[in-house]
Structure 1
Amino acid sequence: MGDKALFAAIEEQLPVFFQSWWLDIVCEQAWDVVMENGASGVTVVWPYSYVRKAGMLLLRNPPLTPYLGPLRITRQSCTGEELSSLYKRLPHSAFRQWSCMPGISYEEWFTAQGLSCKKKRTYLLDLQLSEDTLWNAIHPKRKNAIRKAQQDLSVDASFPELKTFIEWQSASFTAKGKPYPYSASLLQQLMQTGARKGCCCAYTARNVAGEIQGAIWLVQDKTTIYYLLSATPAQTHRGAVSLLLWEAILKAKEQGLSIFDFEGSMDDDIAHFFKRFGGKETSYEAFQKTDSLIWKLKQRIAG
């Protein structure tokens, strides 16, 4: 039996970003997986996405996939011996890049292989805490914004027209001088497939006139829900997204999920917004190495 067939048998134990249906959609060209077996079966997996650009093979996290890389199926870190066994079975590439799961550190091992390490941050909420404890951990100003939004807005488990959502998101990227990174077909496939599998949810806030003030989209697996996308119109209620996130936190808690992952940002303003929900700041590691002088030059030119 091939690695992908073995992988299919255990992948539901893994984070949603590691699962076949997700990788089939987000990977620009293709993906594969290397694994290690123990006495009880598969113990460690390393799914990876690969593309060919200008005749060079590149391994890197695909779009909308904040975490990938090596992982024990119990969601714990791999040993150095396991990492060595998996790493040598990856295809030779001009460029390789992974952002691994939060709370797991491979820095010492990967830097010994010549990869650079960049520490990123996210914020994790423990959904096993009581609702009162979660509420009390939110910054007073954020709680005030939620209370005001509760008075002015209603929330339902729906999603606006995708075209509208993308237009709003694109405007925020343009304001920061960045190109919009996602295609409509990518988002549509993820949302439709995720909905069929029960692996995603969306919430929309509306004012009394029924006008949409904001929407968020989240994905989940057996233990964790991840906040991935949000959008608001140019003129919106300032507490709309805060209210939507609070509603999503409560719904995830009702479902019995353990963790709410804000899928943090290196943007200080966004990180500050997330931090005020009281989550625990948690680092995750991004590793990178370029072996091709041509690809290094291309990266330098592209910035």
Structure 2
Amino acid sequence: MPAKARYREFCRTAPDVPVFAQAWYLDACATGGDWDVVLAQQQDRVVAALPYFYKQKGPFRYATMPPFVKMLGPYLLPEFRGVLKQEHALLEELIAQLPRFAAFKQNFYPTAINWLPFYWHHYQQTTYYTYRLHGLHQLAQVEAGLNRNIRRNIQKAQQQVRVVHDLSAEHFYRLNKMSFDRQGLPMPYSWAQFARHDAALAANGARQLFFAVDAQDRIHSAAYLIWDQQAAYYHLSGDDPALRESGAGILLIWEAIRYASEVLGLPCFDFEGSMLPAVERIRVQFGAVQTPYFFVWKYNSRAFELLEKLKP
């Protein structure tokens, strides 16, 4: 059986494969390239996997992060974690099977803290941070930890908008694009890409849309929450630049946290970054804990490395 087919079966039975690494999720996100996977087995049983997304640029094939995928990296079944000898052996087996790409670049999950075998194979690593709220089962304590500025923004927004879930993905995309337009940034994905992504999440019961709407039916802000069995992720968001003063964006973050706790029953809320100072301050004001994750990379082609460094 091909590795991808075996991995699809593996995802159906493995207890905690993150949403970003689910086969159906990668299918929907593999725009502009394709994804594949290498597997480690014991007695004909898959016990570890390393999915990857790859693209072609001229003569160079390279592994990188696909759109909408915040984290990938190696996944080991729970019973094979925590014992270094086991972890090293499985990671070595996965690394040995990787194709020889011109470059390999991945953000690992925060739980993938052992990248030592990659170091032994001359990969490099940079530490990034996401921000996580834990203990959502005790939502009252989470609420008690909110900064007073966050509380004030929530109360201000509640007087101006109501939160609804029944607007369309098209409405969300329009608000999302407004945020990029306001900053003078190109939209990183097309409507077709987003629609494909959204359809996959909706079909697998793994997303909810949040909209802050006023009495005139103007949409102030929108938020996009996704989840797996371990955590909910504040995946995407958007604001109408003309209506940002209402504080609706802050209200939607809190509503997403409440949803993760009260509806989904999840213990963790992940903000998916960010490394930007202004964004980081907001995450901390919600009481989120700075959580490191690894960006692991390696260049096998000097020519491709030079080409990358010459990019604007």
TM over 0.5: yes
Q: In 1, Cα distance between the equivalents of 2:158 and 2:185?
A: 33
Is the CA contact (8 Å cut-off) linking 2:39 and 2:46 kept in structure 1? yes
Instruction: Tell me, yes or no, if the aligned pair for 2:95 and 2:118 is still in contact at 8 Å.
Output: no
> Per the alignment, in what secondary structure is the counterpart of residue 33 of structure 1?
strand
> 1:16 is matched with which residue?
19
Which TM-score applies when normalising by structure 1? 0.92
Q: Which runs of 5+ in 2 are unaligned?
A: none
Kindly indicate whether residue 64 of structure 2 is the aligned counterpart of residue 60 of structure 1. yes
The residue number in structure 1 matching 2:203 is 196
Q: Secondary structure of the residue that 2:233 maps to in structure 1?
A: strand
- Give the match for residue 32 of structure 1: 36
Q: Could you tell me how far 1:143 is from its partner in structure 2?
A: 1.1
Does 1:91 find its partner at 2:95? no
Once structures 1 and 2 are overlaid, which stretch shifts more, 278-287 or 74-83?
Answer: 74-83
Unmatched segments (≥5 aa) in structure 1: none
In 1: Cα distance, 2:111 partner to 2:7 partner:
23
Q: Matches of 1:175 and 1:295 in 2, distance apart?
A: 33
Is residue 175–residue 221 contact of structure 2 (8 Å, CA) maintained in 1? no
Structure 1 residues 143-162: aligned runs within 5 Å = 143-160=151-168, 162=170
> Could you tell me whether the CA contact under 8 Å between 1:227 and 1:263 is conserved in 2?
yes
Shift of 1:129: 3.7
Q: Please give the alpha-carbon distance, in whole angstroms, between the structure 2 residues aligned to 1:40 and 1:244.
A: 46
AA aligned to 1:122 is: T
Report the RMSD for the aligned CA atoms in angstroms. 2.1
How far residue 199 of structure 1 moved from its aligned partner, in angstroms, is: 1.0
Residue 272 of structure 2 corresponds to residue 263 of structure 1: yes
Distance in 2 (CA, whole Å) between partners of 1:177 and 1:135 is 35
The structural deviation recorded for 1:294 is: 2.1
> How far apart are 1:225 and its partner, in Å?
1.1
Q: Counterparts of 1:178 and 1:35 in 2: how far apart (Å)?
A: 38
1:138 to 146, 156, 159: 146
AA paired with 1:119? T
Deviation track 1:144-174 (CA, whole Å, cap 9, x = no partner) reads 1111212221001134562x54454344335
| Counterpart residue type for residue 156 of structure 1 | V
Report the more deviating stretch, 164-173 or 16-25: 164-173
8 Å CA contact retained: 1:103, 1:282: no
- The residue type paired with residue 275 of structure 2 is M
Instruction: Report the number of matched residues.
Output: 302
Report the counterpart of residue 278 of structure 1 in structure 2. 287
Q: Does 1:299 align with 2:300?
A: no
The amino acid of 1:265's aligned partner reads S
Which secondary structure does the structure 2 equivalent of 1:235 belong to?
A: helix
Partner Cα separation in structure 1 for residue 78 and residue 123 of structure 2: 25
CA distance in 2, matches of 1:159, 1:225: 21
Provide TM-score, normalisation by structure 2: 0.90
1:15-57 CA-partner distances (Å, limit 9, x unpaired): 1111111111211321111112236932211111111111211
Deviation at 1:288, TM superposition (A): 1.3
What is the CA distance between 1:203 and its match in structure 2? Answer: 0.4
Residues 214-253 of structure 1 aligned to structure 2 (within 5 Å): 214-236=221-243, 237-253=245-261
Q: In 1, Cα distance between the equivalents of 2:253 and 2:37?
A: 34
Q: Where does residue 3 of structure 2 map in the other structure?
A: 3
Residues 1:73 and 2:77 aligned together: yes
1:119 alignment partner, SS class = strand
The structure-2 alpha-carbon separation of the partners of 1:262 and 1:159, relative to structure 1 and needing over 3 Å to count, comes to farther
Question: 1:48 aligned to 2:69?
Answer: no
Alpha-carbon distance change, 40 to 125 in structure 1, aligned in 2, over 3 angstroms = farther
